[in-house]
């Protein structure tokens, strides 16, 4: 068991690697009432083409299969696993995004029983022709629901504008047509490929006994032989954007907008990616944060309201920034953003230091919640990043880093405006 400690924030976690290759991380939070556990696999909706370890042929699977598999994992021969967690006083859930599928629970009692249950059911898939067909109907309803969600369509329309070929532009749940092609055999193949312990991670936060956790892992996780690397195949995505404007009409009272910037500086993870992530957050805060000149100008002109916000998503193989909200004139907001970017020729000391403090404070606040810690850990882990490197990395960021990011990333040629109009 290896201890990882951050002197600056006085936080530590322990790392244990099981013989199967499963990585286990525990962050003790003495005195916390709630415990939280996440069992996650590096497998998301982007992984629609891959070569199984030991094979040479490319496997292509229908869009939406990672999400479909997540849904089916909760089904047991005798019912739903949710009922078992409820009997133990725990709240269980799961999610699938572009890169990750995670199963989780929170509890205030019976933590170790729930941990055994989590590890057990994720290692015990149960797919039949009948339950797969039933699942198609349920997930088709979910797809229709998201098709009618203006915020969801706004986001994916933006991605469709940013990307020509990359699977990130495809809805995580797939389409009704694509899920119709899923059967139990392809589900089992994807499960065996991506749910091997060596492609997974277990993270736990709370007031727990580390030795008990290790004992449960050793008794519950199958000591499978470590598999080779899964070769994930993604298309050669051009650096350019697909289209600079996307519009859709839906039942909204005021136009919604996302201004997206495509990141073409990709292909790496670890501390380098973490630094880029934080630098981009700093840029967005200086450019369009609540205390920025741009925000005040747009707000006073009646072009934005309190829904105006920013976000950066930086994965190993793709990335994008979003500036969005609602406005009666999204095109004017976009032009104001681009005009302000052109005027950024230097970074003021006070702006940089204030923004660093704000972002650091936001990060540290997440350690007050076992949910916040856990979700941040899994998100960064899948990018090859140690969450405890965050504070030291932010201290290293210079004016030049921020100014260079402004000049190379935020420009009109990689910008898309997605709008949902009434």
Residues taking part in catalysis? 70
Q: Cα(397)–Cα(42) distance, rounded to whole angstroms?
A: 29
Q: Cα(373)–Cα(358) distance, rounded to whole angstroms?
A: 18
CA angle 271, 283, 297 (to 5 degrees): 165
The pair of structure tokens assigned to 275 is 């630094």
The whole-angstrom distance between residue 212's C-alpha and the CA centroid of its chain comes to 29
Using the structure block, give the residue that is written with the tokens 């119709």. 180
Q: Cα(54)–Cα(359) distance, rounded to whole angstroms?
A: 44
CA angle 291, 292, 293 (to 5 degrees): 125
Report how far apart, in Å, the C-alpha atoms of 173 and of each of 46, 91, 144, 247, 284 are. Answer: 11, 23, 10, 22, 30
Among 200, 47, 35, 14, residue whose Cα is nearest residue 119: 200
Residue burial 274-299, b: 16+ Cβ < 10 Å; e: rest? bbbbbbbbbbbbbbbbeebebbeebe
The pair of structure tokens assigned to 167 is 């699977």
The pair of structure tokens assigned to 194 is 């991506």
């Amino acid at each position: 068991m290896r201890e990882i400690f951050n002197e600056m924030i006085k936080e530590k976690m322990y790392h244990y690697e099981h013989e199967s290759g499963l990585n286990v991380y525990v962050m003790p939070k003495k005195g916390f009432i709630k415990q939280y556990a996440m069992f996650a696999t590096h497998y998301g909706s982007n992984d629609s083409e891959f070569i199984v370890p030991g094979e040479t042929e490319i496997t292509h699977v229908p869009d939406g299969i990672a999400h479909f598999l997540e849904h089916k994992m909760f089904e047991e021969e005798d019912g739903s696993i949710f009922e078992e967690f409820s009997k133990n006083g725990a709240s269980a859930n799961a999610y699938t995004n572009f890169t990750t599928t995670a199963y989780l629970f929170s509890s205030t009692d019976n933590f170790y029983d729930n941990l055994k249950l989590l590890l057990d059911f994720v290692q015990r898939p149960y797919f039949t022709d009948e339950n797969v067909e039933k699942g198609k109907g349920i997930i088709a309803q979910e797809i229709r629901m998201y098709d009618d969600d203006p915020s969801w369509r706004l986001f994916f329309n933006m991605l469709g504008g940013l990307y020509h070929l990359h699977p990130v532009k495809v809805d995580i749940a797939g389409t009704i047509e694509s899920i119709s092609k899923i059967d139990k055999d392809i589900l089992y193949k994807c499960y065996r490929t991506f749910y091997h312990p060596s492609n997974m991670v277990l993270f736990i936060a709370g007031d727990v006994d580390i030795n008990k956790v290790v004992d449960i892992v050793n008794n519950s996780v199958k000591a499978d032989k470590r598999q080779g690397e899964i070769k994930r195949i993604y298309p050669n995505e051009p650096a350019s954007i697909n289209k600079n404007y996307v519009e859709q009409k839906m039942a909204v009272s005021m136009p919604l907008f996302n201004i997206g910037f495509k990141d073409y500086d990709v292909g790496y993870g670890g501390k380098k990616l973490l630094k880029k992530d934080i630098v981009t957050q700093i840029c967005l805060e200086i450019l369009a944060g609540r205390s920025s000149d741009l925000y005040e100008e747009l707000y006073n002109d009646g072009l934005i309201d309190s829904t105006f916000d920013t976000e950066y998503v930086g994965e190993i193989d793709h990335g994008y920034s979003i500036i969005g909200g609602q406005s009666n004139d999204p095109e004017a907001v976009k032009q104001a953003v681009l005009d302000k970017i052109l005027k950024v020729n230097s970074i003021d000391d006070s702006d940089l230091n204030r923004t660093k403090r704000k972002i650091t404070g936001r990060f540290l606040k997440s350690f007050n919640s076992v949910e916040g810690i856990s979700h941040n850990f899994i998100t960064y882990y899948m990018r090859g990043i140690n969450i405890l490197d965050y504070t030291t990395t932010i201290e290293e960021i210079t004016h030049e880093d921020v100014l260079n990011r402004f000049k190379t990333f935020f420009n009109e040629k990689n910008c898309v405006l997605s709008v949902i109009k009434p």
